[in-house]
Structure 1
Amino acid sequence: MSECQGKWLYVRAVLAAMSTLCAASPTLGRSKPTCRYLPGDAGWPSNKAWNRLNGTTGGKLIRGTPLAEPCYFPESSFGNQVCTSLAGNWTSPETYPFPVSGHGCTLGNLAAYALEIDSATTVVAGLKFARENNIRVSIKNTGHDYTGRSNGQGYNSSFYTGPAVKVGAGVQFSELYAAAASRGLRVAGGYCPSVGIAGGYVQSGGYGPLAASYGLAADNALEFEVVTVDGRQLVASPTENSDLYWALSGSGAGNYAVVLSLTSKAHADNPTAGATLTFANIDPTLYWAAVGAFQSHLLVLDEIHGFATSWGLNNQSFSLNVATLPGGLQSDIVTALNPFIQELKDLGLPLTNYNTTIFPSFYAHFQHYTFPPEVYSTNNTLGGRLIQRSTIQDRLPDLVGAFRQIAENPASPMSLISGNTINVSRKRIPQTPEWNSVLPAWRDALYTLNIGILYSPKATPEKLLAYQRQANEWQRLFGSITPGGGAYVNEATFDNPNWKKDYFGVNYDRLLNIKKKNMIQISPCGSIRPLVLTRTGRSLMMDGSVA
């Protein structure tokens, strides 16, 4: 695993709103523009300048080109044969769905140029070019970012003694878990094999099947090796550049520095028990009663150290996709689930699937439930909420009612509802609140909830807007049921009007100050704030300022 394997630094112009406010104005005596240049602006770098950057970086510059371009431009030299081939293989890892229409094919929100990062030198060159030419930079690790933000010394610390792994940016969980298992170890990571640990995952908190055992990925972060916007290569740890370490450990990626590597705690491996079960909606009254019973039983499972679940439901069926119990026996997981299974029997709902397992290592368990990785394209809009223990205890009917309202919504093509239990409370994870910038609401959460809509790739822009509005309404619905809670910034709506409270909470002001000291996007045109696209094709910050 190379330290920079697969990492991309994206140099792109983020769409900006109200160009008259963003452009330099000689009549006002400004010597510099107040916002970044876009392709087509007079100040956008020339082809000669881009060619110089390509030469400086040893040919690492990539020009952004829409994959589906041959299908939109009949005059393209590729012709219809390439279009047919692309359309016929859109579910493979290297193609994506696209409806052919009478409109042209544009990059949209994708990068105009990208740099393939193979060293810190390339990062420095890219950031220097962006700074000197007044263009925006976004950072992409492996691309699992639903909201669209996408060498050094060894580690030594008095705060931690034990096994650790140093992981280069771009290394995915399928690789990391295998490497750790070969050494008798396991690492707190995610469910999806193709996610990279060192990017937005750990920098936004990062949950997974081992969170109930060891905490979030950010709780396990020991050190980051980074390049700052001014070209310095630094180590950020609790004792060195501690503010930068604090911000990188849980508050959202792409704001503070380019991460080259992460040093994370590793843990001794041992056998891992697992389970799956499914039941169908053969009677709506009984079915939703069973869903409520499972929610209540999560409080029981929450008391079992290390017990984690990943589950999903719709109006047809409920599925416990995987239960994970590190260090447990197969009989332990049977005992843990038996009370809920008995409740299903009492309701008269049969199980359509029930299976328990025991594997000699966490990685073997992970492989069984997630391999082979299914690489496919989906079209969905996503929202989310952290569901507190108190919500299950005090407002269970409201919660189940919200699930049912979404699942039975006739206006949605297919509704998505899923949850992943975490249990990263302070009694389980002993770090003080000042240790990292993880949203405090995580510590009171029983699970993180995902809600969304799966739709056709041929959906019209009007439909897409309607689906996004629906997801926003659902996220607000769960917000009203969970006052004082929050949401996982990686799995939530990008245009949430309560983004500051829901995604950053009490940490926001400190994070903003740290960002100002390590600025990737210079104020007033950039901050840890989401964007709203306007009719002009530029973008506007949620507080009304211009990007």
Structure 2
Amino acid sequence: MGPPLLQLFALSAAVLTGVTHGALHFETAQLEARHFAAFDAASFAKGPDPVQAACREFPGSEDWPSDTDWQRLNTTLNGALLKPLPPAAACYVGANYDAAKCRYLINNATTNHFYLDDPVTVLTQWTQGGTCLPALNATGICLQGGFPVYVVNATTVMHVQAAVNFARNKNIRLIIKNTGHDFGGRSVGAGSLSVWTHHLKSFEHMPRFSLGSYSGPAAHYGSGLETWELFNNMARYNITVVGAGGRTVGANGGWFASGGHGNLASFYGLAADQALEIHAVTADGKFVVANEEENTDLFFALRGGGGSTYGVVTSVIVKTYRPINLTTSTLSIACRPPANTNMRAPLAPISNTTHLVNSTELFWQALHIYFRFKRTVVDAGGVDWDYLYPLGNGSYSFRVRTTFPNTTTDQATRLLEPLYTAFTRAGLNITLDRAELRPAPYAGTLTPTPPATPLANTRYRSRLLPRAGWASDAAFNKTFAALRTAVQDGGYTLHGLAIGPTAEVAGWPGRGAAVNPAWREAVLHACLMTEQTGGLTAAAAKTEEARVQGYMKVIREASPGAGSYMNEGDPGEPEWQQAFYGANYRRLLEVKRARDPWGVFWAATTVGSEAWEVRTADGYPRSQNGRLCRVVK
């Protein structure tokens, strides 16, 4: 564990800001006393603040910073302070109306990097309040809602430090945003100051690196690096780094902080399992290094203990591996719909290579066989990504891509043969197309394919289903029946990921990370997906939440004691402390209280967040469009 709270403030700045293995170029510019000599609001913490305000300041509140205060902060930041409007403000009649820009948002912005490079946008607008949606001939008024009032476009550590200090000293809600891949409302907050880390993108390859128990190749990269940029660096240096499945996901942001899964998770472990050293700005404004020898409490917490909680991570040093290949196989099964039915269109089209079955029961029998096979996939070091769509009138579509690392075509064929043999024995005409097995390098040059549109409003409810659910036929039948009920009776889309980042796979230093212990026993990361429309009233949203929780309860009862992955979890998850953190929660709460006695860092369902709540005007559940206040006990 790290030093006790009282000792933290007695340690010298040299110890707190020392970086063992060198800083990236943007980390060398740090906040010094001369920067805030005449502006105490940007100064470092002098100790725990005895003042316990009931709420964070809010635009219009008595102690909200004056325009002069914000101007002085901008001067300290060398002009990095932004006051951005929601992009869709261009669609509403008024001073910001711009017909051409509005048409661009609707017709073009979702096919490029526009929203990813916007300082406020996140990919789910319901958590923001949906207060300013793009629409031709939009009516009403565009409101800032849950988007931050001010944004610090951080391109140096000094920018991050000044933002953290100002927020703490002025009692302002602080949020952190990287790429905007946020499904739970952790990167938005009404009346807030946002630290935007999107442009901290450096990458350094280190063929020879030694630290404590580790000696080998490593890479050092900034928190703003996106996965497609990480893969391009892998190709450049002929190395492998554990990365995300989505190209535009931040390679070292909230994805990393809560574990971070990808195609190599069953082979090398989660993203958080790879970290050898982490650089961050903590709640006192200091720039620190955390590794197995220094600030060990943070080194534990920052590897899987949740983002937006203990500090603003600026860079990470991770293990790298030799080049590796992936062999993939795809499978598509659909239940032939009855004649003359109005079939609801699936989220992904059924291709010409889809295997069609003629009855609902045959379809579910095929899926029962495939889901039983998932444990074989993860035990072989593989993963799969699947989507099960209810199409209406007893019709369904299932698509899956299975990936085996470091595997030849012949080896993959032998691994898959038992699956297709089981199909044949069940009377299903589903065969393996060996020609589809194509080994390909894991690392390669990628382009920044655009993320999902922020109007999609995808909401996840997830469960990390454990090996116990595959231990016997009876246990598996119970697990599968719960999933079938949610799709068949509930009408929900099921997104499944076969994944097994066991403690043995994670190795060192992963076994000492704060990763949710439920990951170590997982065979299937199962998500129910819904579209949380911004047009729902608070009452309707509560009704829908109660409905989906009823089906999630069935899945939870089939997997007692299991957990959930916070990045694709439900901000309304009951007993979220256990679900998202498991047995690590008590230790993580100790780290949180010691490192952040002011509660500078807050986001829904993060460690210690139960002490605060967002008070919305309309009562919309889990929305961040309201003032942040302490929970009154």
Sort the TM-score into its range (normalised by shorter chain).
0.7 to 0.9
Deviations 1:438-487 (A, max 9, x none): 11111111121111213666555555444444343333332111101100
Cα distance in 2 between the residues matched to 1:465 and 1:436 = 36
Q: Secondary structure at the match of 2:459?
A: strand
Contact 1:191-1:209 at 8 Å conserved across structures: yes
Do structure 1's residue 397 and structure 2's residue 452 form an aligned pair? no
Deviation at 1:35, TM superposition (A): 2.7
Change (3 A) 1:116 1:520: farther
Change (3 A) 1:401 1:38: same
Normalised TM-score (structure 2)? 0.74
Change (3 A) 1:63 1:2: farther
Structure 1: which amino acid aligns with 2:300?
A: W
Deviations 1:400-455 (A, max 9, x none): 32333222347x5xx32112222122333345886111111111111211112136
Deviations 1:247-304 (A, max 9, x none): 0011101111111100011111133211111111232101111111111111222331
Do structure 1's residue 138 and structure 2's residue 175 form an aligned pair? yes
Q: Name stretches of at least 5 consecutive residues in structure 2 with no aligned partner.
A: 1-22, 28-49, 116-122, 124-132, 188-201, 337-358, 391-395, 619-624
Contact 2:203-2:233 at 8 Å conserved across structures: no
Cα distance in 2 between the residues matched to 1:113 and 1:268 = 43
Contact 1:540-1:546 at 8 Å conserved across structures: no
Partner residue of 2:457 out of 372, 379, 386: 379
Contact 1:277-1:351 at 8 Å conserved across structures: no
Q: Secondary structure at the match of 1:137?
A: strand
Deviations 1:305-352 (A, max 9, x none): x222111212321111x2222211012112212222233334444459
Do structure 1's residue 313 and structure 2's residue 388 form an aligned pair? yes
Cα distance in 2 between the residues matched to 1:478 and 1:490 = 19
1:492 is matched with which residue?
A: 569
1:478 is matched with which residue?
A: 555
2:351 is matched with which residue?
A: none
Output aligned runs, 1:73-84, within 5 Å: 74-84=93-103
Structure 2: which amino acid aligns with 1:391?
A: G
Partner residue of 2:415 out of 336, 340, 351: 336
Cα distance in 1 between the residues matched to 2:310 and 2:512 = 17
Do structure 1's residue 295 and structure 2's residue 379 form an aligned pair? no
Normalised TM-score (structure 1)? 0.85
Contact 2:333-2:398 at 8 Å conserved across structures: yes
Query: Quick one: percent identity of the two aligned structures?
Result: 28
Contact 1:452-1:471 at 8 Å conserved across structures: no
Partner residue of 2:110 out of 81, 85, 91: 91
Q: Name stretches of at least 5 consecutive residues in structure 1 with no aligned partner.
A: 6-29
Contact 2:203-2:220 at 8 Å conserved across structures: no
Q: Secondary structure at the match of 2:253?
A: helix
1:453 is matched with which residue?
A: 530
Cα distance in 2 between the residues matched to 1:128 and 1:432 = 32
Cα distance in 1 between the residues matched to 2:416 and 2:186 = 39
Cα distance in 2 between the residues matched to 1:345 and 1:104 = 60
Deviations 1:486-532 (A, max 9, x none): 00111111022211111112111211111122217528998532656
Do structure 1's residue 505 and structure 2's residue 582 form an aligned pair? yes
Q: Secondary structure at the match of 1:162?
A: strand
Change (3 A) 1:477 1:106: farther
Structure 1: which amino acid aligns with 2:419?
A: F
- Greater Cα shift, 447-456 or 162-171: 447-456
Cα distance in 2 between the residues matched to 1:407 and 1:289 = 14
Contact 1:439-1:505 at 8 Å conserved across structures: yes
Deviation at 1:141, TM superposition (A): 1.9
Deviations 1:143-202 (A, max 9, x none): 222212239999631211111110111101111122123222111121011111221112
2:344 is matched with which residue?
A: none
Deviation at 1:77, TM superposition (A): 4.7
Partner residue of 1:45 out of 33, 42, 65: 65
2:242 is matched with which residue?
A: 188
Partner residue of 1:63 out of 62, 83, 94: 83
Cα distance in 2 between the residues matched to 1:376 and 1:350 = 38
Change (3 A) 1:69 1:192: same
Deviation at 1:75, TM superposition (A): 2.8
Deviation at 1:67, TM superposition (A): 1.7
Do structure 1's residue 425 and structure 2's residue 502 form an aligned pair? yes
Q: Number of residue pairs matched?
A: 512
Cα distance in 2 between the residues matched to 1:323 and 1:345 = 19
Aligned residues: CA RMSD: 3.2
Do structure 1's residue 114 and structure 2's residue 151 form an aligned pair? yes
Change (3 A) 1:75 1:108: closer
